[in-house]
Structure 1
Amino acid sequence: MAEEVELEVKPAKSKLPIIIALVVVVLVGGGVAAWFLLGSTPSVEESAAASEQKPVAASAKIGDALYVAMPRALDFMIQGASRPRTVQIKVQLLVRGQDAEQLARKHIPLVEATLHKTFSATTEQELVSLAGKERLREQALSDVRETFLNVEGQNVVEQVLFTGFVIE
């Protein structure tokens, strides 16, 4: 009536060698990719040895050019031909040496106030031409220098640079 069927149970093939081979391939491939992407960058030990051999950093010299960015863009309104216009100018100061940099950073609120006063006195016609922007930059430099002479008794800023300029 009923026949008995005998089932053979075969031991499962081990997948461990395949997994190990895949892990090795991934690690080797990752190492090769990292070597190509990173190139021959010096190790931490090489960098430390190189920095010991270099003299004092270039920014520590007295006459080095350093840039002091105003922490925020200066926004102000001017009267346009048909309507009031909003202007936004991003400014950086070029100074020479760390002492001048520290003085400029110390007086950032004063510099911002001086620049706001200078920029607010301009007109739309001056801001749309390259020559007008250059005159505004020179006037800003003159006003900032005068402010530093009054406060610190010395000229601190070499140039006022416009790094962003938007008129809406």
Structure 2
Amino acid sequence: MATEETQATPAVELAATAKSSNGLVKTIGIGTGLFLMMLITQLAGPILGCKLLHSMTPNCPAPEVVVDKAGKAVEPVNKAPPKYLAFDPPLVASLEDKGSIRFLQVTVELMARDEKVITDVGTHMPVIRNNLLMLLGGQTVSSLTNREDKEKLRKQALAEVQKIMKANTGEAGVEDLYFTSFVVQ
């Protein structure tokens, strides 16, 4: 009988050790889980609080207010990234000057946020180039010497492109026009 007790004792000890280590693993797992939950709530809580309960959460940044031309608040619109289309080759026009022939070479780039607008501009490029050449050809050398005059010409060119696009597609589409090279000779 003594042998049976001796043989049973290691089995009981082994079972007790297994229960003890199993309990330790559970305790570590529960502790780790609680720690991670606390960490997530500390990090995500303020963000969610500002988004969902803005008026009741202190230290939240004020929401961006977008105002239209009439002065009324409107929902901000997330704009798509800009897409550019460069005129190739650059526009070259002769300028009016006191008895001599002068030239203006301008590289133009258009900016839109919709790929369809860029495609539509390509479709109507002959009309756009024609009208811009007529606009540039009507300038004088003296009217292109300072920044304000160049900016005025840029805005006129943008308005011309938007007019062409609106007439052909129903919407202006092009948001801006840039002179990326401007040479008077």
**Structure 2 counterpart SS, 1:116:** helix
How far residue 134 of structure 1 moved from its aligned partner, in angstroms, is 0.5
When Rg is computed on C-alpha atoms for both structures, the one with the higher figure is 2
Q: Which of residues 138, 150, 160 is equivalent to 1:133?
A: 150
Q: Which of residues 176, 179, 183 is equivalent to 1:159?
A: 176
Displaced runs of 4 or more, over 6 A = none
How far residue 64 of structure 1 moved from its aligned partner, in angstroms, is 2.1
Structure 1 contact 103–156 (Cα < 8 Å) conserved: no
**Structure 2: 5+ residue runs without aligned partners?**
1-77
User: What is the TM-score normalised by the length of structure 1?
Assistant: 0.60
> In structure 1, what is the Cα distance between the partners aligned to 2:141 and 2:135?
14
Which of the pair has the greater relative contact order for Cα pairs under 8 Å at 6+ separation?
1
Q: Which of residues 121, 128, 135 is equivalent to 1:104?
A: 121
How far residue 82 of structure 1 moved from its aligned partner, in angstroms, is 5.0
> In structure 1, what is the Cα distance between the partners aligned to 2:114 and 2:165?
16
* Structure 2 residue identity aligned to 1:100: V
> In structure 2, what is the Cα distance between the partners aligned to 1:95 and 1:111?
15
* Structure 1 residue identity aligned to 2:111: L
Instruction: Give CA-to-partner distance per residue, 1:41-72, whole Å, 9 cap, x none.
Output: xxxxxxxxxxxxxxxxxxxx972200001111
> In structure 1, what is the Cα distance between the partners aligned to 2:178 and 2:140?
19
How far residue 117 of structure 1 moved from its aligned partner, in angstroms, is 1.3
The question of 1:85 aligning with 2:102 is answered yes
Matched positions, count: 108
How far residue 156 of structure 1 moved from its aligned partner, in angstroms, is 1.7
How far residue 78 of structure 1 moved from its aligned partner, in angstroms, is 0.9
> In structure 2, what is the Cα distance between the partners aligned to 1:108 and 1:161?
16
Q: Which of residues 148, 163, 166 is equivalent to 2:165?
A: 148
Structure 2 contact 103–184 (Cα < 8 Å) conserved: yes
**Structure 1: 5+ residue runs without aligned partners?**
1-60
Q: Which has the higher helix share?
A: 2
